[in-house]
Structure formats: structure tokens, C-alpha cells
């Protein structure tokens, strides 16, 4: 995968008309000034060996009243940096020049904070930057702290985790990555010289822009299921994937049987990301796959826990059971993908999942992409995700603007964007609450964008063609010389 500095270097160097129309496709990094401010501060402190507090939030019932309080009491200069979010700007040391303040690593000279509505930030919270978030997780746990959330991306800023110290105080850590939640990876070497591109292999003109809007987590909750399937009726989102171990799976299977033409894949699952609040277990018994069970009898909640206890053979056995469960229901999935990056957590697991893909002719995002196309695997050229978007609570148009800008900047190729399209209920909001209220409006926001007439009109103007995974599955079957162009199972 393209990670860290490689991703930062790669994107501005992409040639016009290959993957994106220009480097301006770093959508929200460019259109969101707040992202730039936080990035600048975090990068300044990242240069030091010590992790620093890089951001804070103050919860308020009345944002303007809180603004007046802090201005009057401390003399802070507070202004609304964007229309989306009011920021607290420290005045710094009056004896320093502006350039000194801007380049200082001293928290008394420069700082960034935000006043936010009480429902989003309960009291005062701090965010601490770290150079390696995975190593920081281990250090926190070894020293008696707890990890309270999965690692989640904040678009254009970095990867964050909510933690708790030994005294019960909640804080966050962040690893800065400007491309977090934007372009997850890209692979445009999809053909040999003088041979058809992937777009052409799928039967489209060479300059066609093909987009796969993918709905994740179907079956996790009835509202998630219903929102995703309703959006698929609209025609922009044509595919999604189901979580076989989850509570709503029996109803999903019944719906699918009544509409066998649905383009659905299997969202391979090895984590129960909402813990005891709303959890699920492996399909196989604890005697068969003991390494996949936590003390509560559920999947491990977080990725680092899964990695710590992982037995690759047991994981592959469980994931194949999830595939076979759907095939034995006489349904025809079109692909497989991963929940919380599960099969990317170990090279041998990635290799095993590629074997399952070939065994059942289920396209996937391969672990070993450097040789995957030569081996006949079919998958998109680029892979994207937009989850948390700064300021979205204040500007409901932010999500639509982000997706629309993304569409405008796509060049020829096959581009997949992962969404979490969903309806919402009070119960589902409570389930999502440990990850922050953003998860609820991100999901309903995805539904609003991909069932929106403006989005459809824009796509038509741009000549964007929406496809599902069934077309990729047929091409993969052709590459492997299969007798069927669908799933293989007998």
C-alpha cells in the first residue's frame, strides 16, 4: 500500500490524465483551510523527538458565549477561521516576530484549538502527535493505558485513536498524514505496453471514467442494510458487501434471495469494532478458531488486538466459512473485500485470501499487487475513502462538495470509493457513539450524496459511468479461462 512519505511524494507527481487530472485532486486538503493549519502545526512539532500537544477542543452549549469568555478572561484572539469551525488562535509572545511565531516549537508561542458544540466535544480534550501511531498503541497499553477506539482517518490530516490514561482521562493521539482517508492506493500499471487498458478490457473507450461507489457494512445493523440497499436502487451506488457474522445477516440473505441480481460481495470480517455494546462472534466455534475469540466470546475489537493473537490458518478457515455460508444459501457474490483491513494485517493471511479469491472467482484488492494483474486478478486503478470531514457539523454541504470535487478531478480509469451509506436510528447512533457522533452523520451524509440529483447531474456532465463488481468478475473469469463468468462453487 502507498503509505507515509511515499504517498506524499507520489500524488503531486501523477501525470495529468493518468490517475487524476491534476495534483489539485487532494480535494479537502486544498478546499479546507483548517486542514492546512492543523497540518502545519503538527508537522512543526513532529520534527522534535518529544510528542507534543498539537490540538485541543472546548465543548460549549453556546459557542459565541464561550468565545467571549475566553477572550475576556485570557485575552486570546479568537476568530472563525472558516465558515465551518471557530478556532482559538493563541496570541503568542508579543516580543516575537510573526515569522518566529510561525516557526516556533514552543507551545507558548503558537497553538491551535477549536470551540465546538457540546454534543461533539463534551468538555476539554487534547490531541497529542506521535510519529508512529501503531508503536504508540503498544506503549500506551504496556504502561497501563487503554485504547478506546479503532484507528480512524481524519481526511487530509492524519490517523487518530482515542485513548485513556491510568487516571481515567481521555485523550487522543494522531499520526500526521495529509493523504489520510483520501487516496488509499493507486495502481495504474494495468496493462502491458501496446495492450488494452483495464477500461478497454472491460469494453469501454480508453478515455472512459468508470466509478465504483461501494457500500460497506451491509448486515451490520438493519438501518445500515436498508440505507445501502435503498441507495443502490438510485443507480449511482451499484454494489456493496455484506458482513456475514453480523446480527442482520439472516434478513440480508432473505432480501438477496428475493432479488438475486443484486451486485453484492462479502465483507470479510475478523473484528467486532463496537465491542460489547454491539458485538458479533466468529461463525466457527471457539474450539475451531480460539485465536479469533476475545474473553467476552466476540471477535477482537481492534486491529492491534487481532494482530497480537492472530493464527493465520484459523483466520483463513473462518473467512472461508463466511464465503461458503453465502454460497450454500445459493447466492452469487461478485467479490470479497476486508473489514477494518483484516487481511492486510499479515502477509500470509493476504496470500491465503488471494487463494480464496481464485478458488471461488471472487475479485478482491490483492495483498501482493505488484504481480497481481499479471496473475489475472482484476481490481480498480484507484481506491478512495472519505470518512471524517472537518467542519461537517457546521457545514452540511461539506461532504457533497468533497465528493463532487473528487468526481471533477478524476481522469480515465476505474476508480472505487468506499462509503458507509446508511439510514440512522437512535439505537444505531448509540452503537456508533464510542467512535464519536461523526460516524452517524458520515453514514447518513454518504446516503444523501449518492442519492442526490445534483450528484447524478454532475456525473452525467462529466461523462462518469457507474459500474459494479460484476463486470470485474466476468473479466477475471475470462483471464483465468473459467467455464463460468460468475462465482465458482459446486
Q: Could you report the per-residue pLDDT of 78-122, keeping only the tens digit for each?
A: 766 444 444 444 443 444 444 444 333 333 333 467 776 554 445
What mean pLDDT comes out for the span 55-61?
73
The per-residue pLDDT for 22 is 36
The per-residue pLDDT for 112 is 65
Position 193 confidence tier, pLDDT thresholds 50, 70, 90: low
The per-residue pLDDT for 38 is 52
- Residue 47, classified by CB atoms within 10 Å of its CB into exposed (0-12), middle (13-18) or buried (19+), is exposed
Q: What percent of the chain has pLDDT over 70?
A: 74
Q: Which of 54-63, 225-234, 239-248, 250-259 has the lowest mean pLDDT?
A: 54-63
Position 188 confidence tier, pLDDT thresholds 50, 70, 90: low
What mean pLDDT comes out for the span 190-210?
86
The per-residue pLDDT for 181 is 54
What mean pLDDT comes out for the span 51-56?
73
The per-residue pLDDT for 219 is 97
Q: Does 328 or 7 have the greater pLDDT score? A: 328
The per-residue pLDDT for 183 is 59
Residue 123 has pLDDT above 90, yes or no: no
What mean pLDDT comes out for the span 354-381?
92
Name the one residue in this structure whose C-alpha cell is 494495468: 190
Position 304 confidence tier, pLDDT thresholds 50, 70, 90: confident
The per-residue pLDDT for 126 is 81
Q: Does 468 or 399 have the greater pLDDT score? A: 468
Q: Does 398 or 114 have the greater pLDDT score? A: 398
Position 249 confidence tier, pLDDT thresholds 50, 70, 90: very high
Q: Does 397 or 118 have the greater pLDDT score? A: 397
Q: Which of 53-62, 87-96, 130-139, 374-383 has the lowest mean pLDDT?
A: 87-96
The per-residue pLDDT for 180 is 63
The per-residue pLDDT for 434 is 65
Q: Which of 83-97, 321-335, 375-389 has the lowest mean pLDDT?
A: 83-97
Domains of the chain with bracketed CATH: 12-176 (3.10.180.10), 183-479 (3.20.20.370)
The per-residue pLDDT for 51 is 73
The per-residue pLDDT for 57 is 74
| Stated pTM of the model | 0.74
Position 176 confidence tier, pLDDT thresholds 50, 70, 90: confident
Report the range out of 320-334, 355-369, 385-399, 405-419 with the highest average pLDDT: 320-334
Residue 288 has pLDDT above 60, yes or no: yes
What mean pLDDT comes out for the span 380-389?
85
Position 411 confidence tier, pLDDT thresholds 50, 70, 90: confident
What is the average pLDDT score of the chain?
80
Q: Which of 131-135, 203-207, 281-285, 361-365 has the lowest mean pLDDT?
A: 131-135
Q: Could you report the per-residue pLDDT of 25-45, keeping only the tens digit for each?
A: 344 444 444 444 455 555 554
Q: Which of 3-12, 325-334, 361-370 has the lowest mean pLDDT?
A: 3-12
Position 60 confidence tier, pLDDT thresholds 50, 70, 90: confident
Amino acid at each position: 500500500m502507498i503509505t507515509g512519505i511515499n504517498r506524499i511524494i507520489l500524488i503531486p507527481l501523477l501525470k495529468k490524465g493518468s490517475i487524476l487530472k491534476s495534483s489539485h485532486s487532494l480535494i479537502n486538503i486544498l478546499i479546507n483551510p483548517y486542514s492546512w493549519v492543523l497540518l502545519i502545526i503538527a508537522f512543526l512539532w513532529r520534527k522534535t523527538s518529544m510528542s507534543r500537544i498539537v490540538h485541543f477542543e472546548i465543548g460549549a452549549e453556546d459557542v459565541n458565549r464561550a468565545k467571549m469568555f475566553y477572550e475576556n478572561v485570557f485575552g486570546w484572539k479568537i476568530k472563525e477561521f472558516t465558515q465551518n469551525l471557530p478556532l482559538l488562535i493563541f496570541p503568542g509572545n508579543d516580543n516575537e516576530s510573526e515569522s518566529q511565531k510561525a516557526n516556533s516549537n514552543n507551545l507558548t508561542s503558537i497553538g491551535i484549538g477549536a470551540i465546538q458544540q457540546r454534543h461533539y466535544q463534551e468538555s476539554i480534550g487534547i490531541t497529542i502527535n506521535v510519529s508512529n501511531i501503531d508503536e504508540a498503541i503498544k506503549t500506551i497499553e504496556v504502561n497501563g493505558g487503554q485504547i478506546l477506539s479503532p484507528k480512524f482517518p481524519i481526511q487530509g490530516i492524519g490517523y487518530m485513536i482515542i485513548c485513556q490514561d491510568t487516571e481515567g482521562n481521555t485523550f487522543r493521539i494522531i499520526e500526521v498524514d495529509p493523504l489520510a482517508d483520501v487516496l488509499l492506493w493507486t495502481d495504474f500499471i494495468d496493462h502491458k505496453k501496446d495492450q488494452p487498458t483495464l477500461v478497454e478490457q472491460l469494453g469501454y473507450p480508453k478515455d472512459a471514467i468508470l466509478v465504483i461507489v461501494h457500500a460497506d457494512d451491509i448486515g451490520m445493523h438493519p438501518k445500515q442494510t436498508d440505507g445501502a440497499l435503498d441507495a443502490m436502487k438510485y443507480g449511482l451506488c451499484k454494489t456493496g458487501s455484506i458482513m456475514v457474522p453480523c446480527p442482520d445477516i439472516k434478513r440480508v440473505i432473505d432480501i438477496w434471495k428475493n432479488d438475486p441480481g443484486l451486485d453484492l460481495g462479502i465483507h470479510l470480517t475478523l473484528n467486532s469494532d463496537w465491542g460489547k455494546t454491539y458485538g458479533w462472534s466468529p461463525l466457527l466455534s471457539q474450539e475451531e478458531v480460539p485465536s479469533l475469540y476475545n474473553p467476552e466470546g466476540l471477535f477482537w475489537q481492534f486491529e492491534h488486538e487481532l494482530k497480537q493473537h492472530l493464527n493465520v490458518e484459523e483466520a483463513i478457515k473462518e473467512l472461508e466459512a463466511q464465503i461458503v455460508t453465502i454460497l450454500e444459501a445459493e447466492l452469487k457474490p461478485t467479490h470479497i473485500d476486508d473489514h477494518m483491513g483484516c487481511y492486510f494485517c499479515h502477509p500470509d493471511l493476504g496470500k491465503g485470501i488471494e487463494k480464496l479469491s481464485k478458488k471461488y472467482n471472487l475479485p478482491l484488492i490483492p495483498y501482493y499487487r505488484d504481480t497481481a494483474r499479471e496473475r489475472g486478478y482484476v481490481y480498480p486503478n484507484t481506491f478512495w475513502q472519505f470518512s471524517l470531514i472537518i467542519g461537517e457539523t457546521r457545514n452540511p454541504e461539506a461532504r457533497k462538495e468533497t465528493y463532487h470535487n473528487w468526481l471533477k478531478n478524476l481522469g480515465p480509469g476505474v476508480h472505487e470509493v468506499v462509503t458507509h451509506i446508511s439510514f440512522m436510528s437512535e439505537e444505531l447512533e448509540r452503537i456508533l457513539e464510542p467512535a464519536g457522533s461523526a460516524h452517524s452523520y458520515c453514514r447518513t451524509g454518504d446516503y444523501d450524496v449518492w442519492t442526490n440529483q445534483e450528484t447524478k447531474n454532475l456525473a452525467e456532465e462529466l461523462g462518469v459511468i457507474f459500474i459494479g463488481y460484476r463486470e470485474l468478475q466476468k473479466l477475471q473469469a475470462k483471464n483465468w479461462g473459467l467455464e463460468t463468468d460468475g462465482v465458482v462453487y459446486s
